[in-house]
A and B are shown apart, each in its own frame.
Chain A
């Protein structure tokens, strides 16, 4: 995703001189290196100084530019939170805040480098939009889409190695709309970000084990959340499953439950999220998910009995 984003950014920035890349001491990967070489005046490394990374990005936006502030997710939005809230959101400026390694991607780096609560925090700030693509193709689409958004955008990305999930999707990417990436009749799993891969695998295993079909939906735009699309799923599927690499507090699961109440949904609704606890466990990203209960086999056995 990181390289895919860099390549997509480079292609857009070549044609659009409003784009700037503002980084905080993070090495430019893939085409970001080419961008730095070819357009050095629009590549800014502020050093280890995330407050001014976001402040400068907002200043550029005040002059009509479209800056992408880019570093590891926790440093993109947590360290400079007030610059995000006041400079970007309160002034409603088109700053794109790119968070690499969202969730627990940096699984062995410890809790200082995890963003388990970023969707909740960014969702709570007025004017902010949030996109969390599930695979490289959605990352390209999301990068293009966020150029058009008039206000600030938090682009929550994974890092590397995410497989293709959407090239055969029956519906295209559209900002602000959920998207079926696999059709199904009897159950529907809604996810976002790289953990959507587990959702796709779960759907296949669920179908094999139960003979029931399961749809998979990418809710790539977490804000504005497609309440209508989610409400429609809650009204038409007997079993709806939320799977997310985010705390159970204030993420997609919690928001879908609110929508379910509003639409008086009668379906079974299962939300699988990270726990409201810091993770003091080290291993692969999947092993960290499992440590918080996001284990494919465990979830499958629970769904088989639903």
Chain B
């Protein structure tokens, strides 16, 4: 995801948890990278925006959606940048359920070995995946922080809804290792009937539910 297309100096953003693409699309539209008309054709014939983002669209730097791919791609991109002496950071957002993919840990193991430093991973740790609570499905997986550090990364856990805390945490990295931000979040944050209810991983709201959600979100933003 780039603010200015085609510039080598720009940072890279990969949404490895590609199912969150709508959030990425609206940000890209806000930045003027994606046209508003494209959003209107989301998942429709003639449009280019799918439930999972496709490489080649403005601002989309990798095809994601199958979980566990983004970090490996990012390590390769970071290696190319290092060898070509291009100073740009790569940000990769993953889900906590995604960390169950072995490929993530292959990439996690490799990044510090290759001396990658300009790589920032973000784990959206909402403790939910399709079938229930992540911490119940794999209780020994928690805490995540120590496991990431054990793989040679710097890692900090913060409130994932606090933009300022996220910024400060990422900026606090020493720059000598890859950096992982463990962002504690609430699934469905801001919509009372969605918060921490796993079915909203899949469901689309009815017109009435939609209106209620918009009302709640707008009142909390006001």
A107 within 8 Å of B by Cβ?
no
Residues on A with beta carbons closer than 8 Å to the beta carbon of B84: 63
B106 within 8 Å of A by Cβ?
yes
Question: Could you tell me the distance in whole angstroms from the C-beta of B96 to the nearest C-beta in chain A?
Answer: 19
User: Is there contact, CB below 8 Å, between B66 and A59?
Assistant: no
Stretch at the interface among B19-27, B33-41, B74-82, B180-188: B74-82
Chain B, interface SS category: helix
Residues on B with beta carbons closer than 8 Å to the beta carbon of A90: 55, 63
User: Is there contact, CB below 8 Å, between A62 and B106?
Assistant: no
Q: Decide: A59 near B55, CB < 8 A? Known: A47-B110, A52-B106, A52-B110.
A: no
Question: Could you tell me the distance in whole angstroms from the C-beta of A302 to the nearest C-beta in chain B?
Answer: 46
Within 8 A of A (CB), among B101-152: 102-103, 106-107, 109-110, 113-114
B177 within 8 Å of A by Cβ?
no
Q: Which residue of A lies closest to B102 (CB)?
A: A51
User: Is there contact, CB below 8 Å, between B114 and A59?
Assistant: no
User: Is there contact, CB below 8 Å, between B72 and A82?
Assistant: no
Q: How many residues of chain B are within 8 Å of chain A by beta carbon?
A: 30
Question: Could you tell me the distance in whole angstroms from the C-beta of A296 to the nearest C-beta in chain B?
Answer: 43
- State the CA gap A64–B55 with chains docked (Å): 14
A181 within 8 Å of B by Cβ?
no
User: Is there contact, CB below 8 Å, between B103 and A83?
Assistant: yes
A44 within 8 Å of B by Cβ?
yes
B61 within 8 Å of A by Cβ?
yes
User: Is there contact, CB below 8 Å, between A65 and B72?
Assistant: no
Bin chain A's interface residue count. Answer: 20 to 34
A208 within 8 Å of B by Cβ?
no
User: Is there contact, CB below 8 Å, between A91 and B72?
Assistant: no
Question: Could you tell me the distance in whole angstroms from the C-beta of B92 to the nearest C-beta in chain A?
Answer: 11
A262 within 8 Å of B by Cβ?
no
Residues on A with beta carbons closer than 8 Å to the beta carbon of B109: 47, 49, 52
User: Is there contact, CB below 8 Å, between B79 and A55?
Assistant: no
Question: Could you tell me the distance in whole angstroms from the C-beta of B21 to the nearest C-beta in chain A?
Answer: 15
B69 within 8 Å of A by Cβ?
yes
Residues on A with beta carbons closer than 8 Å to the beta carbon of B107: 52, 55-56
User: Is there contact, CB below 8 Å, between B72 and A60?
Assistant: no
- State the CA gap A173–B114 with chains docked (Å): 38
B163 within 8 Å of A by Cβ?
no
Residues on A with beta carbons closer than 8 Å to the beta carbon of B62: 62, 91
A58 within 8 Å of B by Cβ?
yes
Interface mask (A41-82 → B, CB under 8 Å = 1, otherwise 0): 110101101011011111111111101000000000000001
Chain A, interface SS category: helix
Question: Could you tell me the distance in whole angstroms from the C-beta of B73 to the nearest C-beta in chain A?
Answer: 4
Interface mask (B45-71 → A, CB under 8 Å = 1, otherwise 0): 000000000011000011100101101
User: Is there contact, CB below 8 Å, between B77 and A63?
Assistant: yes
B83 within 8 Å of A by Cβ?
yes
Q: Decide: A55 near B77, CB < 8 A? Known: A83-B69, A90-B63, A91-B63.
A: no
Given contacts A52-B109, A56-B79, A61-B76, 18 further A-B contacts (CB under 8 A): A41-B83, A44-B79, A49-B106, A49-B110, A55-B69, A55-B76, A55-B107, A56-B73, A60-B77, A60-B80, A62-B76, A63-B80, A63-B81, A82-B69, A83-B72, A83-B103, A87-B73, A90-B55
Q: List 27 A-B contacts (CB under 8 A).
A: A41-B82, A42-B83, A46-B110, A47-B109, A49-B110, A51-B72, A51-B106, A52-B75, A52-B106, A55-B69, A55-B72, A55-B76, A55-B103, A56-B72, A57-B76, A58-B72, A59-B73, A59-B74, A59-B77, A60-B77, A62-B61, A63-B81, A67-B76, A82-B66, A86-B69, A87-B72, A87-B73
The 7 lowest CB-CB distance pairs between A and B, nearest first, are A59-B76, A55-B72, A63-B80, A52-B106, A56-B76, A49-B106, A51-B103
